[in-house]
Chain A
Amino acid sequence: MSELTLLLIRLAFLAVLWFFVIAAVGVIRTDLFGSRTAAAAPARKAPKPVKPPAKPKKGEPRQMVVTGGPLQGTTITLSETPITIGRANDATLVVTDDYASSRHARLFPQDGQWIVEDLGSTNGTYLDRSKVTRPTPVPLGVPIRIGKTVIELRK
């Protein structure tokens, strides 16, 4: 057995050891860098829209983002459709929150503006710090609080 063979065995073993460590990190990379499939899957599954929705004009919000609460990170692309929020299954954004009502609030577009309307909820809807008592226009980036959930409109 030559020195060279032993040297090669030695280096090969160390390399294999490190390969194992790297493979182990590979197994859990979704933990470390976040899941990529979750974002990609719906995009692949969704059928191509027949007609691309009319591009919102400048200064108009394009998406609604949940910035707080259990659904944090959820985004909803805004179109012409009104958005309902609540615990009911038919709401656009279904929140599982003891502080939200089944049909809690509604967001709808009007004349290029999005309006928030409280649908008679028990604990109320708050735009920034003030309670929404009647349909109120929502400026960009102002938080709307529904129970534990906070959402805002973004470009």
Chain B
Amino acid sequence: MSVPTVSAPGAEAVPLPAKRRVAQLVMLASAVLIVMAAYAAVGMGIDQKIPSGMLTYGLGLGGFMLAAYLVLARFAPWADPLILPLVTLINGLGLVMIYRLEVGAGGKGGASATSQLLWTAVGVVVFSVTLIVLRDHRALQRLTYTAGAAGLLLLVSPLLPVLGQEINGARIWIGLAGFTLQPAELAKLALVIFFAGYLVAKRDVLALAGRRLLFIDLPRARDLGPILITWGLSLGVLILQKDLGSSLLIFGTFIAMLYIATQRTSWVLIGILLFVGGAILAGLAFDHVQARFEVYLNPEDDALYRRELGGSFQLMEGLFGMSQGGILGTGLGQGHPGLIPLAFSDFIFAAIGEELGLTGLMALLMVYGLLVERGLRTSIAARDPFSKLLAGGLSFLLAWQVFIIVGGVTNLIPLTGLVTPFMSQGGSALLANWILIALLVRMSDAARKPPPQAIQDEGLTQVFQR
């Protein structure tokens, strides 16, 4: 007689999930090497020799990432092995592209790889500090309403008379001791934390109450409060700060998190209806929104192309650049991405498209996709509802941001000024996104860590080993 063999998920036979530290280190090293190769290729393309700054930049980036890796290995050993290498590659390619644009413009025009490298360093420091200080992400759940208030305050801070500054037609900056910051970037994080905490508490009533009409479950009218408030908030951002991108980003993320929390399609439909309604109203009432729509519908129009303010010049230059790149690109350092206005910030995607072509853009989008996939995976594996919602919301925030800017640059949707996460030049965005990654790493560590094992076999008192 043989003993029945059990092959159960969760039984003793299953080995502990691997930490995959070696894989992580190898991927991290190859990401840094790819970035250095890109530097070399830029130098080769521009003046036929390997640039002198390559080692400095490469080793600088490598050093930062090694530091980040060590902090991660010490304070979040079970964290997902792919998140850090993927971010490294995106951040590094952004640095290379900014360097290339800086060299191409002869140091003029606003692109500055050195300042971006410094901000990357600050980002890594903030990443490490977040990981070290925040040992348990559930501490954030206690800060739900604090985070909500902080997010609102950060959002409206550019409107304050002394602090706020208006640059390039959008009032989204604050000046602090010589620096300009975009508080909206941090506000997004705070708001996602707020949404997650709020929805954990209220999702049952939002998910269950209501009645069925045709094929969708309609919520009760009185439960529409939160969605209407967020809608008003995003419209306020749109109207008062003239910031289309943040408005769309905040509202879209809220709808997605509402959907994750309640699994009801009706919320998504209501959200889309509200947003389309709001956008049409805004388009009728405000010139700057209307200008964006005109450009979107008819970018090739000659009058729009030549229009001084709110014309389609930038968009068309980006499209020209990408068409010049074609399938394989012109090669790093051999295109003319300098012709696109603001190629180092909003239009870095078009610049990459010109020099690396469709093949390179697809690889880049795959890297973004994998990063988002790791985040969503964390959300699935997470054990408590708060981190499920938070991880899902943060990943969606990242994905949605990439979609909005890439869609805008390729004229799939109206162009809105958003940064490409980790690529565009800009300190605030880089900082906020590194914090976002730290939160994801922290949650994936908690999700992948094996549950505590009982040391004793039986008995009323059980001793747990952490």
Chain A residues proximal to chain B, CB less than 8 Å? 1, 5-7, 9-11, 13-14, 16-18, 20-21, 23-25, 27-28, 31, 37-39, 41-42, 45-46, 49, 53, 66, 70-71, 73-81, 83, 89, 92-94
B133 within 8 A of A: no
User: When the two chains form their complex, are residues A14 and B45 in contact, meaning their CB atoms are under 8 A apart?
Assistant: no
Docked Cα-Cα span, A7 to B45, in Å, equals 10
A/B interface sample: 24 pairs, CB < 8 A: A1-B48, A6-B44, A6-B331, A6-B334, A9-B45, A10-B328, A13-B38, A14-B329, A14-B356, A17-B359, A20-B30, A24-B27, A24-B85, A24-B367, A27-B27, A46-B5, A53-B2, A71-B9, A74-B7, A76-B5, A77-B4, A78-B4, A79-B1, A92-B6
How many residue pairs between the two chains, A and B, have CB atoms under 8 Å in the bound complex? 125
Interface residues of B in 358-373 (CB under 8 A from A): 359-360, 363-364, 366-367, 370, 373
User: When the two chains form their complex, are residues A89 and B4 in contact, meaning their CB atoms are under 8 A apart?
Assistant: no
Q: Which residue of A16, A21, A73, A79 contacts B37 across the interface (Cβ within 8 Å)? A: A16
User: When the two chains form their complex, are residues B363 and A14 in contact, meaning their CB atoms are under 8 A apart?
Assistant: yes
Q: A14-B363, A21-B370, A23-B30 are in contact. Are A38 and B14 (CB under 8 A)?
A: yes
Chain A residues positioned under 8 Å from B1 (CB to CB):
53, 79-81
B332 within 8 A of A: yes
Among A25, A27, A71, chain B packs the most CB atoms within 10 A around the CB of A27
User: When the two chains form their complex, are residues B374 and A28 in contact, meaning their CB atoms are under 8 A apart?
Assistant: yes
Minimum CB–CB distance for A44 against chain B, Å:
11
Chain A residues positioned under 8 Å from B15 (CB to CB):
37-38, 41
Among A6, A16, A71, A78, chain B packs the most CB atoms within 10 A around the CB of A6
Q: Which residue of A23, A39, A70, A92 contacts B27 across the interface (Cβ within 8 Å)? A: A23
8 A-B pairs with the lowest CB-CB distances in the bound complex, closest first? A10-B331, A74-B8, A1-B48, A17-B363, A21-B366, A76-B4, A42-B13, A14-B359
Closest B residue to A16 using CB positions: B34
Q: A13-B37, A41-B13, A53-B2 are in contact. Are A71 and B8 (CB under 8 A)?
A: yes
1/0 contact string of B429-466 vs chain A (CB within 8 Å): 00000000000000000000000000001100000000
Chain B residues positioned under 8 Å from A80 (CB to CB):
1
Docked Cα-Cα span, A75 to B8, in Å, equals 7
User: When the two chains form their complex, are residues B366 and A89 in contact, meaning their CB atoms are under 8 A apart?
Assistant: no
Docked Cα-Cα span, A62 to B85, in Å, equals 47
